[in-house]
Amino acid sequence: MSIHWPIIRRLLRHPTRAVAVDDSRTYRGVEVLVGALHAAGAIRACCESRTVGVLVPTSGAFPIAALGAWMLGKTVVPLNYLLKKEELEYVIRDCGTDTIVSVQPMLDHLGYTPCVRNLIRLEDLAMRSVPQPIRPACVEDDALAVLLYTSGTSGKPKGVMLSHANIETNIAQCRRLVRIGAGDVAVGVLPQFHSFGMTALTLLPLTCGMKIVWSARFVPSKIVRLIREHRPTFFIAIPSMYNALLSVKDADGSDFASLRLAVSGGEPLPDATAARFRERFGVTLTEGYGLTETSPVSNICVPEEYRPHSVGRAVPWMSQRIADPATGRECAVGVDGEVQMLGPNVMGGYYRLPELTAQVFTADGYFKTGDMGRLDEDGHLYITGRIKEMLIIGGENVFPREIEEVLNAHATVGESAVIGRQDPMRGELPVAFVEVREGEAFDELALKRWCRERLAGYKVPDEVRVVEKLPRNATGKILRRDLKPLL
């Protein structure tokens, strides 16, 4: 089971079909395949390491570089160009690559050239010439396909080891659950160095023949223009992106009428965003869930089974359970605990970190996500927060999301994030940080009154602060931990 073979067969079957569009051009199937063969030839000529770094903007350059590496049986390392220079250099050293595939505009954006023995610029390859033929490698199911680096608990990124079988299985799981086919069109706004951008918005479309339209940067008005032009049936974004699309003044329901499935993932979808999107555009946003460690998709709430706040059932061939984080015992239906998963899309472990790997798996093989959630009687999963972000206020467990939902429903609040401040009497006190909507005024006392009318007294923020922008990661997910220095 190799990731690249189904894609190659699809490209060969429809060589003249437009399979992808990015900010600069449209790609026919044959152009992706020829480009990948040229990339493979360049990698083969210089690369001695098992890994190949890919450092490109979200575009057709990523599948060309990745397919070229997989054709040679190499492991692809998607490099996060938003990392600090020291972090990026750490990843390059840790994965052991001697070769990076990039493009000059990306290097110009970085402002420096990564320290690596071989740097291949795709624009330097003679893409219009006939490439040297290469028989694509056939690899074992458990061969390492991708090393995806995520934030480490020690501050250093850690490599998630995903096999060809992990990713190919996840593609099959998504296709089985959502019924995606060659007639579908998707607009991709998540970076390809992120697991969702790589699997769901690059490899999945290329495998099933869906046309994919990529944008390297999320600009709300531009995304609406792309949706108008390409009429996608499938759209995945994070809550803050859906919230930002509401700011496009000339957008209306007709722009989104083609959507068959609009999924929100990455973090919980605020009720206020979901309600405004439904009222203005007539689109019901469903939620999905997953982690890099699960390749990444583990749950999707399909429209016919929509339930507010549910991320849906587990994808096919995956088992989920809720366990008490203190005792490890399985929780009853409706009781909060840690979400644990077992299935063929779960990672093999963290690269060169055996102790950390052992810590995140139970004795019977379930992966411990670190997320809190509960299952209902029909197997729908509801995510309630991160174990590490849970607040303990006067002995009561409080998840930030509950407070944030109330704050986000206020007319003056765009988005919010709640963290805990140590308190000698009550253990912790909630402190809220809010982004104020354009044209609105910040009123801390009014927001506290709003919360007091809707929350138990101990959940009301002790302090509400306004910030111009909440800290976010590469996909726009709010990073609560980065607010801690502001306390």
Per-residue pLDDT of 91-104, as tens digits, reads 999 999 999 999 99
Does 150 fall in a domain?
Answer: yes
* pLDDT tens by residue, 356-397: 999 999 999 999 999 999 999 999 999 999 998 989 898 888
* pLDDT tens by residue, 394-452: 888 898 999 999 999 999 999 999 999 998 888 899 999 999 999 999 999 999 999 99
CATH of the domain at 142: 3.40.50.12780
Closest CA to 51 of 121, 4, 118, 103: 118
Query: Final residue of a domain: which of 124, 153, 178?
Result: 178
Q: Tally the C-alpha atoms within 13 A of residue 373's C-alpha that lie toward its C-beta.
A: 27
Q: Is the pLDDT at 341 greater than 60, yes or no? A: yes
Query: Final residue of a domain: which of 161, 178, 195?
Result: 178
What does the radius of gyration of the chain's CA atoms come to, in whole angstroms?
A: 23
Does 14 fall in a domain?
Answer: yes
* pLDDT tens by residue, 4-15: 999 999 999 999
Q: Is the pLDDT at 474 greater than 90, yes or no? A: no
Q: How would residue 153 be classed by pLDDT, with cut points 50, 70 and 90?
A: very low
Does 340 fall in a domain?
Answer: no
Closest CA to 350 of 156, 164, 171, 197: 156
Does 309 fall in a domain?
Answer: no
Lowest-confidence pick of 23-37, 110-124, 153-167: 153-167
Does 421 fall in a domain?
Answer: yes
Does 8 fall in a domain?
Answer: yes
Integer Cα distance of 188 and 215 in angstroms? 6
CATH of the domain at 449: 3.30.300.30
Residues of the chain with pLDDT > 70, as a percent, come to 99
Query: Final residue of a domain: which of 178, 203, 221?
Result: 178
Q: How would residue 152 be classed by pLDDT, with cut points 50, 70 and 90?
A: low
Q: Tally the C-alpha atoms within 13 A of residue 336's C-alpha that lie toward its C-beta.
A: 13
Domain that holds residue 109: 4-178
Does 62 fall in a domain?
Answer: yes
* pLDDT tens by residue, 267-301: 889 898 999 999 999 999 999 999 999 999 999 99
Does 44 fall in a domain?
Answer: yes
Look over the chain and give the mean of its residue pLDDT values, rounded to a whole number.
95
Based on the structure, what is the number of domains in the chain? 2
**Range 33-55 average pLDDT:** 98
Question: DSSP for 386-451?
Answer: EGGG-EEETTEEE-HHHHHHHHHTSTTEEEEEEEEEEETTTEEEEEEEEEEPTT----HHHHHHHH
